[in-house]
Amino acid sequence: MNTKPVNLLDYDVDALVDWFAAQGEKPFRARQVMRWLHREGCTDFGAMTNVAKSLRARLSEIACVTPPTPISDKVSSDGTRKWLLDVGSGNAVETVFIPEVRRGTLCVSSQAGCALDCAFCSTGKQGFNRNLSAAEIIGQLWLANRLLGGDADGERVVSNVVMMGMGEPLANFDNVVTALRLMLDDHAYGLSRRRVTVSTSGIVPAMDRLRDECPVALAVSLHAANDALRDRLVPINTKYPLKDLLAACNRYLDRAPRDFVTFEYVMLDGVNDSERDARDLVAIAREVSCKYNLIPFNPFPGSPFRRSPAERIRRFASILAEAGIVATTRKTRGDDVDAACGQLAGKVLDKTRRTVRLVEDTR
């Protein structure tokens, strides 16, 4: 009976050691192959020259290296690059690379669509189909490294990864953590915990699990400073209100690689951009060590929201700064190829029938 080959991109080092043990191989073989897979981007087992010839032949029969397949590759006028990746069954997700002077940031998706339906997000309006596998998540980094090549010194140009693409990462906890462990592993990508960020809308039990199992930098999609407004903008708030969310942030900081949480705050004209809103954010900063990342709203078809005027954003930021709080205003990147924050949509065969579904507690 033919058995479907195992995609080795699905395994972190511990799982790969166990898989090789089941094949009668010693642990060092897993680490050898992992370096070929992730550091070299190798898909041909026959080319893994320091692996025993008999094992190479066996791997060619029972295993594979299969990242998502690119459907399109667009480059913005500002150098931002967006890939649409086929993840099967009529679904496609988007991955974005943002080049900057001292770093290159890859924005990675975790789900085909999103069930949380945040009011200002294009992805949520697509509905939800399924979680991505670990291979489909880490495969986005694998592909980016291969397609982007190295810099003038031969170093990889992806220096930072943010789990801020399509989907809610903590609603796909196990697969996301497997991918995170690969990002951090010296046999794979060797990124610092400070250079890998998970962004969540606020699934409190999963935030606690992440703190215990794989603490990386944390960003929280805040977008409102009171429960009434946040219930409207970020529906998961009805299940995990601000009091619970802020307490979870403080617990997370006990083990986080950074001494602050980044609060993402999209600036919506006449909705959450008043001076009162800014002062309420100052009060939150007294409860949680944080930085604010103000995001000018990026419009998409059918959205009822507008971007706050530039002067109002500037005044909003100055109120925070005057209170001694670090607040940055995100530059809009890649909006001419719909690659800006909140614009990622991909292609999703919605299984939710556009009904908001709050994810169950992560246990």
Q: Is 107 considered catalytic here?
A: no
Contact 204, 246 (CB under 8 A): no
The active-site residue, picked from 94, 136, 168, 264, is 94
94 is known as an active-site residue = yes
Contact between 196 and 180 under an 8 Å Cβ cutoff? The reply is yes
Pick from 362, 304, 42: nearest CA to 33: 42
Going 84 to 157 to 217 to 191, the CA torsion angle's sign is positive
Place of tokens 């103000």: 294
- Which residue of the set 249, 287, 341, 360 is catalytic? 341
Show the CA angle centred on residue 85, arms to residues 83 and 86, nearest 5°. 160
On whether the CB atoms of residues 207 and 170 are closer than 8 A, the answer is: yes
Return the closest-CA partner of residue 126 out of 134, 139, 136, 116: 116
Beta strand ranges found along 117-230 (DSSP E) = 128-131, 160-163, 196-200, 217-221
E-state strands within the chain: 6-7, 63-64, 69-75, 81-88, 91-99, 104-107, 111-113, 128-131, 160-163, 196-200, 217-221, 261-267, 290-296, 327-329
Q: Which residues are catalytically annotated? A: 94, 341
